[in-house]
């Protein structure tokens, strides 16, 4: 099964004057940290809501020329056993490159394989994610085979890595 995972990141930005400037800098900063390894991760502004009145707020909170920006990072994870496995892989892959930035999985949904245009786009982005997702186990499988089962780590490997 293939899953589309959306992860929320709280990106700190310094020396900014407005929320718009903070969002632009946060997206740029996050893109630099993810590229070239995770260039298939889509970066977008996050959504924030007032906890009391549920009114929509700007994705950046600015105080004393510093800001905390909510960003949504979206990636497709291939050949997973269940949604929890996909969320762990996405958090690990993104978290390794975004050090000291808090992450929270917002949603995980199964990718439907029979759609026309979106499947082609996911295939392009996913070709890289399948390779990157198995980066830990690819060193063990240097026998020259290109079997996808060798590329994606098993649940046991992910649990062992998390501990």
DSSP string across the chain:
--EEEEEEEEEEEES-SSHHHHHHHHHHHHHHHHTTTTTT-EEEE--EE-TTT--EE-SEEEETTEEEEEEEEEEEE-S-SSHHHHHHHHHHHHHHHSTT--EEEEEEEEPPTT-SHHHHHHHHHHHHHHHHHTHHHHTTT-SS---HHHHSPPHHHHHHHH-
Q: Give the confidence band of 103 by pLDDT, cuts at 50, 70, 90.
A: very high
Q: Is the pLDDT of residue 69 over 70?
A: yes
Q: Pick from 46-55, 110-119, 140-149 the range whose average pLDDT is largest.
A: 46-55
Q: Give the confidence band of 116 by pLDDT, cuts at 50, 70, 90.
A: low
Q: d(Cα 29, Cα 55) in Å, to the nearest integer? A: 28
> Are the beta carbons of 2 and 80 closer than 8 angstroms?
yes
pLDDT value, residue 126: 46
Both tokens of residue 147? 């079997």
Both tokens of residue 66? 């510093």
Mean pLDDT of the chain: 78
**What mean pLDDT comes out for the span 83-96?**
93
Both tokens of residue 106? 């917002």
pLDDT value, residue 54: 83
Predicted TM-score (pTM) of the model is: 0.67
Q: Give the confidence band of 139 by pLDDT, cuts at 50, 70, 90.
A: very low
What separation in angstroms does the CA of 35 have from each of 57, 100, 144? Answer: 29, 17, 26
**What mean pLDDT comes out for the span 72-86?**
93
């Amino acid at each position: 099964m293939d899953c589309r995972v959306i992860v929320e990141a709280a990106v700190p930005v310094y020396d900014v004057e407005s929320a718009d400037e903070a969002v632009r800098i946060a997206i740029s900063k996050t893109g630099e940290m993810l590229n070239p390894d995770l260039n298939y991760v889509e970066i977008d502004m996050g959504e924030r809501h007032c906890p009391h009145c549920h009114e929509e707020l700007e994705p950046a909170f600015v105080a004393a020329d510093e800001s905390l920006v909510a960003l949504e990072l979206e990636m497709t994870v291939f050949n997973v056993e269940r949604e929890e496995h996909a969320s762990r892989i996405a958090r690990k892959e993104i978290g390794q490159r975004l050090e000291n930035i808090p992450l929270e999985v917002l949603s995980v949904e199964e990718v439907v394989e029979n759609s026309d245009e979106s499947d082609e786009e996911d295939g392009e982005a996913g070709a890289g994610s399948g390779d990157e997702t198995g980066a830990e186990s690819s060193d063990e499988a240097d026998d020259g085979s290109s079997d996808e089962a060798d590329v994606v780590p098993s649940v046991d490997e992910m649990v062992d890595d998390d501990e």
